[in-house]
Amino acid sequence: MSFLDALILAIVEGLTEFLPVSSTGHMIIASSVLGIASDPFTKVFTVAIQFGAILSVLVLYWKRFFQSIDFYLKLFVAFIPAMVLGFLLSDYIDQLLERVEVVALMLIVGGIIFLFIDKLFHESEENGFRDVSYKTAFRIGLFQTIAMIPGVSRSAATIIGGLTQKLTKKTAAEFSFFLAVPTMLAATLYKLLKFYQDGNAFGSHEISILLFGNVAAFVVAILAIKSFISFLTSHGFKLFGYYRITLGAILLALYWLGIDLSIV
């Protein structure tokens, strides 16, 4: 992997990780177009640069992470379902990543839902809660497990989960960002552990690439998060719905043409 490859993938990661558009689907396309999808290091890199995205949340919302122990307990409660199922279904999830048609179909299904979600939760936006209870946190955590199906989008699942609990869009989106920190950190560390257990190791070039990619993902993610909150509260989900449907259709077309888009 070159530094240019790393930059492109980091930009894709930073832009899509916190948007409800499935970073997995975008990574599939980007790594395949670059011709590095089958490289073992690419598979680790696409997960490891999530650390840079995590740091963007910590920097933007650093005051929230120092507000109370209650805040961390709620995040832990929300993280429990994904922690348990992620550990139990890790190998099965990796197998699903090989099935591009699953990613494409989930993008399309999620996109269709997004076309109607603003109307479905219109009352929540006007009179919704701006505080997350423990019960709400756990229920959002259950929604997050749906995102273990590639193409669903972790951000989409958790934001919708928040809306079903009558949170405002802004509150649901921000809690989705916060929940990403333990979830993505665990996924990153687990992927790195498996990489080493399989007998692999990073050389100086790979370490430089990882550092570079994380810095780039960090910068882009900060811009994406700021823009997303503003756009979401003003325009809602419909545009993301059209985008997901289009991307899913493209992936299906490439799959039917026999083009290999696997990143696992």
Statement: residue 123 has pLDDT above 70: no
- 3, 71, 181 from 133: Cα distances, Å: 44, 10, 19
3-state SS assignment for residue 168:
coil
CA dihedral 136, 81, 45, 24 (to 10 degrees): -70
Q: pLDDT tens digit string along 166-180?
A: 898 889 999 999 999
Question: The pTM is what?
Answer: 0.85
Q: Compute φ and ψ for 209, nearest 5 degrees.
A: -65, -45
Average pLDDT over residues 31-37: 81
Candidates 30, 55, 24, 61; CA nearest to 174 is 61
Average pLDDT over residues 96-109: 80
Statement: residue 264 has pLDDT above 50: no
Q: pLDDT tens digit string along 125-164?
A: 566 667 889 999 999 999 999 988 888 888 889 999 999 9
Q: What is the pLDDT of residue 263?
A: 43
Statement: residue 26 has pLDDT above 90: no
Q: What is the pLDDT of residue 190?
A: 81
Q: What is the pLDDT of residue 127?
A: 61
- Any idea what the Cα angle at residue 186 is, between residues 184 and 191, rounded to 5°? 95
Structure-token match 């989106």, residue found:
173
Statement: residue 262 has pLDDT above 80: no
The 10 Å CB-count burial string (b at 16+, else e) for 227-239 is ebbeebeeebbee
Q: pLDDT tens digit string along 191-208?
A: 788 878 777 778 888 889
